[in-house]
Amino acid sequence: MMYINKQQGFTLVEIAIVLVIIGLLLGGVLKGQEMIKSAKVKSQMQQLDGISAAFNTYQDKYGALPGDDANAAANTGIAGLTGGDGNGDISNNEGSTRLWQHLEAANLLAGYTPAANGRFLNKYGQETFIDSNYAGLSGAIVCTSVPNDVAREIDRKVDNADGTSGSMRRHNQTAYPTTAGNSWICTAA
């Protein structure tokens, strides 16, 4: 008796089914990554809103700008807290370090993680500061450093996505780069 060794391969239908399954898995992974990125962008936007709310609450509660408050120690009840000069304008030092200390002392800033220079660290581990009349905007301006693609996305959701005009601007009022790197985005506090 002779045995015939018959080799069988995959049919076109079986190959098509496997390809469809692989495509669905890849699509799910890519969509998941997009959802994670979107959630981080939304979280960063909420953090900016929270900083603005804390800033305005401090101003309403104590009648002074946080960071610039000459009576910060008395107002917050924290002895030894360094006050600002009380001139109604936030200088670089006041907006980089003292502001965050004043907000934290007033229990208005949750999750303050200071950078080595005292600035607030955002959701991307980058610095945040507040300054007066900055980036072509008037009043107290909050600025934070985020990846360029995130900067464009936040600006698109808030404003016009160009960085040169509107209520959200790039620090130097130029368009957001399409390359890797970070941009400072700034908006009114």
Give residue 89's pLDDT: 84
Q: What is the pLDDT of residue 33?
A: 79
Segments making up each domain of the chain, as ranges: 39-188
| C-beta neighbour count of 70 within 10 angstroms | 13
One-letter amino acid of 98: R
Structure tokens at 83: 């006050």
Task: Give the pLDDT score at 117.
Answer: 82
If you ran DSSP here, which 8-state letter would residue 18 be given?
Answer: H
Q: What sign results for the dihedral spanned by CA atoms 140, 46, 82, 58? A: positive
Q: What angle do CA 28, 182, 103 make, to 5 degrees?
A: 100
CB atoms within 10 A of CB 15: 11
- The pLDDT value given to residue 4: 66
* Residues across the chain: 189
Sign of CA dihedral 52, 54, 59, 64: negative
Res 150: pLDDT: 93
- Cα 86 → chain centroid: 28
> What was the pLDDT predicted at 5?
65
pLDDT at 156: 92
Q: What is the pLDDT along the chain (189 residues), one digit of tens a residue?
A: 566 666 677 788 888 888 888 888 888 888 887 888 888 889 899 999 999 999 999 999 999 999 999 999 999 999 999 999 999 888 777 877 889 999 999 999 877 778 878 888 998 999 998 888 889 999 889 999 999 999 999 999 988 888 899 999 999 999 999 899 999 999 998
Distance separating alpha carbons of residues 16 and 137, to the nearest angstrom: 57
Q: Look at residues 92, 48, 96, 89 and name the one whose alpha carbon lies nearest to residue 69.
A: 89
